[in-house]
C-alpha cells in the first residue's frame, strides 16, 4: 500500500474510534447501513456453516458479532491493518482469532473457504485503486471457494469527495483479466456486491 495512503487510513479510523467509540460510526457506517450490507453479503454467500471464513478488513469485529447473532458456527479469522481496531476486536471477542497485518507486506499463507471484504476500500486515500486490485489478487490466492465483496458504486448520484467509488464495468474487466471468469455482480443505488468464484 502507498505509505501515505496507509498512514491516512490508520489515522482516519483511529480518530473516528476515539470520537465515536465502539459503534458503526467509528468505521464510517450507520448502524442501518452496516446491517444492510452484512445481510446482503450473507445472503449471497449462502451456507457458510462450519466454513473457514476470512473477514478481511475486520475492523473491531462487528461482522463476527453479526455472525454470532445469527447462531452461525464458522471457523472465523479476522485481519485488519489497524492495530487499535484489532485490540478492540480481541477484547470484545476473545474466542475469535484476530490479527493485525498488512496483507501486501506481511506473509500470510493460510487458506480459507470464503473471504468477506465489506467496505474495506471505501475511503479515498493515496493509491487506493492500485491497492484494491493488488489485495484482491493476493486474497484470491488464499481463497478456495469464493470471495464476497462490497464496494461503493461510482454511479451513486450523491458521491462524497472523501470516499472511493468503483465503476462496475472497470472492476468486472479486472476480474475477468486477472482473477476469474466465474463471478456475479449485484448493483444498487449505493453499492456493488461482487462474488468471485474459484473455477
Q: 126-184 pLDDT, tens per residue? A: 899 999 999 999 999 999 999 999 999 999 999 999 999 999 999 999 999 999 999 99
Percent of the chain with pLDDT over 90: 82
Average pLDDT in the chain: 93
pLDDT at 91 over 90: yes
Q: Is the pTM of this model over 0.85?
A: yes
The pLDDT of residue 72: 97
pLDDT of 5 > 90? The answer is no
DSSP code of 28? T
Mean pLDDT of the 112-128 span: 95
Under 8 Å between Cβ of 80 and 117: no
pLDDT at 190: 95
Least confident of 27-41, 77-91, 127-141: 27-41
Q: Which domains does the chain have, with CATH numbers?
A: 3-197 (3.40.50.150)
Residues 6+ apart with CB under 8 A from 85: 13, 17, 58, 59, 60, 100
- Please name the residues in contact with 100: beta carbons below 8 A apart, sequence gap of 6 or more: 79, 80, 81, 82, 83, 85, 86
How far is Cα 164 from Cα 152, in angstroms, rounded to an integer? 7
pLDDT tens per residue across span 53-77 = 999 999 999 999 999 999 999 999 9
CA atoms within 13 A on the CB side of 39: 6
Amino acid at each position: 500500500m502507498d505509505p501515505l495512503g496507509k498512514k491516512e487510513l490508520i489515522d482516519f479510523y483511529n480518530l473516528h474510534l476515539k470520537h465515536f467509540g465502539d459503534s458503526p460510526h467509528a468505521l464510517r457506517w450507520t448502524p442501518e447501513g452496516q446491517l444492510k450490507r452484512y445481510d446482503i453479503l450473507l445472503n449471497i454467500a449462502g451456507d457458510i456453516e462450519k466454513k473457514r471464513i476470512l473477514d478481511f478488513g475486520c475492523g473491531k469485529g462487528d461482522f463476527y458479532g453479526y455472525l454470532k447473532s445469527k447462531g452461525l458456527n464458522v471457523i472465523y479469522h479476522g485481519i485488519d491493518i489497524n492495530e487499535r481496531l484489532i485490540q478492540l476486536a480481541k477484547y470484545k471477542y476473545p474466542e475469535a482469532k484476530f490479527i493485525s497485518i498488512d496483507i501486501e507486506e506481511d506473509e500470510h499463507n493460510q487458506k480459507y473457504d470464503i473471504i468477506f471484504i465489506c467496505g474495506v476500500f471505501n475511503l479515498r486515500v493515496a493509491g487506493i485503486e492500485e491497492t484494491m486490485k493488488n489485495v484482491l489478487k493476493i486474497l484470491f490466492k488464499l481463497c478456495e471457494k469464493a470471495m464476497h465483496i462490497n464496494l461503493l458504486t461510482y454511479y451513486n448520484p450523491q458521491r462524497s469527495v472523501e470516499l472511493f467509488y468503483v465503476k462496475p464495468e472497470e472492476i468486472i474487466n479486472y476480474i475477468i483479466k486477472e482473477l476469474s471468469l466465474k463471478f456475479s455482480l449485484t448493483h444498487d443505488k449505493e453499492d456493488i456486491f461482487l462474488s468471485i468464484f474459484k473455477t
